[in-house]
Amino acid sequence: MRKYFGTDGVRGTVNQAPMTAEFALALGRAAGHVLTGHVQHTPSILIGKDTRLSGYMIESALCAGLTAQGMNVLLVGPVPTPAVAYLTRSLRADAGVVLSASHNPAGDNGIKFFAADGFKLPDEVELEIEQKLDNPPPLPPALNIGRAKRIDDAKGRYIEFLKASLPRGLRFDGMKVVVDSANGAAYGVAQRLFVELGCHVTSIFDQPDGLNINKDCGSTAPEVMSRTVLETGADIGFALDGDADRLIVCDEAGRIVDGDRIIAILAEHALQEDRLQGGAVVTTTMSNMGLERYLQARGIDMLRASVGDRYVLEMMRKHGCNIGGEQSGHMILLDYNTTGDGLMTALQLLCAMSDNNRPLSELAADMQLFPQHLWNITLPQRRDVLADAAVQKLIRQAENALQGHGRLNVRMSGTEPKLRIMVEAENDALMQETGNTLYQGIRAIVQA
C-alpha cells in the first residue's frame, strides 16, 4: 500500500504534511539511498520545477537530502515536466525529479520522479523509497556526499528537442498563434519555440510571480485564450497548464478543442501517414463515447485505461500503441517523448493542419460528442467514499436510470481530496437529471 506516493508522485498543500521542507529533506535522503543502491557509480539526479514560490524551498530541501546521501544533483530551474523527462535522458542522469502540482493552485506543490529512461519511476522503486522514509538510512562518510550544480542551457536544449520532432525544414511561416503559458513552466519556452518556427505569436500569461500560476488562466481556464484568438484573428490558440504537460486548444473561431478531439485529430493524421501503431489509441474511462464511435468508423480501436497518465502509459506500452491521452488534454506521444508534452502536442496539431491544408475547425469536424458533465465533491479530508454502501446504492440507481443510453464514472481524484462524478448520455436532459440526482445524493452523505 502506498503511503505517500499517489498516481502522480507526492502532492499536497505547502507547509502541510507531507509537502513540508522537512519531508522534502527526508524524501531526498530516502530517494538518494535507494537510487545509489541501484548503480555502481556515483549517481546523478536532475531537478526541474515550475514557477511556484514554494519551489525554491522544496528544491533546496530535496537537494540537501539527495547530496547528503551521496547523489550529484543537476539543477535546471523552471522548465516543463516533459523537459525534465527529456533532459534526464539527454544528460545521462540516473533519475529526474519535477517539483510541480501541475494544474493545481499556487499553494500546492508536488514531487514526481522519473527513471533514467525518462519514464516514471517504477512502482517497486517508489515503494522502496517509502520504506526508507519510515526507516531513515545511514549517512555516508563526510567526503562521500554529492555535489550540486546548475545547468544553464536547459530551455534551449528542450526547444531544440521539440523542433527536431518535425520534418526537417518544416516551418509555419505566417501562422498566427496565441499561447497561454498559465504563468507556469512554459513561460521561457513556448513563445521562443513558435517564433523560431516562423509563427506570429501572441503570448499571454507569461509573467509568473510565484503566486499566479494557473490563476484564471491555462488549460483549466482557457476562456481568455479563446477571446484573444478572436481579437487577434489567430489561426489557433494553445492553453498549457502549470507544468506544460497538458494542452487545451481552440480553433480560429474561438471554439474549445478538448483532449478527446485532439486525440481524434492526431490519430487520424497518424493513420494517414501510416504512423499509427497497435491499431488503436489509449484513452481513459472519462473519454466521450462520440470519440470511440468516430475512431471505430475509421478502423481505429479505442482502449480505455483508468484515469491518470500513469495508467494510460502502462496500457500504451502493453498494447504497442504510440498515441494516448486524456480528455483533460494530457497527451502522450511515444514517438517523441516518454510523458505528456503539451508543446509537442501543439506542434503535431500544427503539422496536421499544414499537411491537410485545412484550418483546425475542419479537422475531425464530423465527430459528434455525447452530452457529458463532470461534478466534483470536495471532501474535508481524503477518505474512501466509494466504500460506503449508501454511495454504492446511489451509483446503482443512476446506472439503472441511464438504461443503456449512457454511462457514468465515479472515482476518487488521484491528486486532490475530491470525488469526481462523470455522467454521459445520449441527450442532455437525461445526463443532467441523472448527474444532479447522484451529485446531490452523494453530497448529502459526505456532508452528514
Question: Degrees (nearest 5) of the Cα angle 312, 407, 377?
Answer: 75
Query: What pLDDT score was predicted for residue 32?
Result: 96
Torsion of CA 24, 29, 35, 39, to 10 degrees: 150
pLDDT in tens, 120-151: 998 899 999 999 998 999 999 999 999 999 99
Query: What pLDDT score was predicted for residue 117?
Result: 96
pLDDT in tens, 248-258: 999 999 999 99
Separation CA 411–CA 307 (nearest Å):
9
Separation CA 190–CA 188 (nearest Å):
6
Worst-scoring range by mean pLDDT, 138-147, 209-218, 411-420? 411-420
User: What are the strands, taking DSSP E only, across 22-86?
Assistant: 44-49, 72-78
Ranges for all domains in the chain classified under CATH 3.30.310.50 = 372-447
Q: Reply yes or no on whether the pLDDT at 31 is more than 80.
A: yes
3-state class (DSSP) for residue 27: helix
Q: Which CATH superfamily is domain 258-369 in?
A: Alpha-D-Glucose-1,6-Bisphosphate, subunit A, domain 3 (3.40.120.10)
Percent of the chain with pLDDT over 70: 100
Ranges for all domains in the chain classified under CATH 3.40.120.10 = 10-153, 176-257, 258-369
Region 379-400: mean pLDDT is: 88
Separation CA 187–CA 242 (nearest Å):
9
Query: What pLDDT score was predicted for residue 1?
Result: 65
3-state secondary structure 317-351: HHHCCCEEECCCCCEEECCCCCCCCHHHHHHHHHH
3-state class (DSSP) for residue 238: strand
Identify whether 18 is preceded by a cis peptide bond (ω within 30 of 0).
yes
Q: Which of 358, 362, 295, 360 is nearest to 324 (CA)?
A: 295
Report which DSSP code applies to 21: H
CB burial readout 146-161, b (16+ within 10 A) else e: bebeebeebbebbbeb
Residue 430: Cβ within 10 Å count: 18
pLDDT in tens, 60-71: 999 999 999 999
3-state class (DSSP) for residue 154: helix
Contacts 24+ apart (CB under 8 A), 298-301: 298/267, 298/268, 298/271, 299/271, 300/267, 300/268, 300/271, 300/276
Q: Which of 304, 288, 444, 447 is nearest to 369 (CA)?
A: 288
Percent of the chain with pLDDT over 90: 87
Indicate the class that CATH gives domain 176-257: alpha beta
Q: What CATH topology corresponds to 372-447?
A: TATA-Binding Protein (3.30.310)
Q: Region of 360 please: left (phi>0), alpha (psi -120 to 50) or beta.
A: alpha
Using an 8 Å Cβ cutoff, are 175 and 199 in contact? Answer: yes
Query: What pLDDT score was predicted for residue 6?
Result: 82
pLDDT in tens, 327-366: 999 999 999 999 999 999 999 999 999 999 999 999 999 9
Q: Which CATH superfamily is domain 10-153 in?
A: Alpha-D-Glucose-1,6-Bisphosphate, subunit A, domain 3 (3.40.120.10)
pLDDT in tens, 83-112: 999 999 999 999 999 999 999 999 999 999
> 239 pairs with which residues across the strands?
180, 248
Catalytic residue of the set 102, 219, 226, 287: 102
Report which DSSP code applies to 9: B
Q: Is 102 a catalytic residue?
A: yes
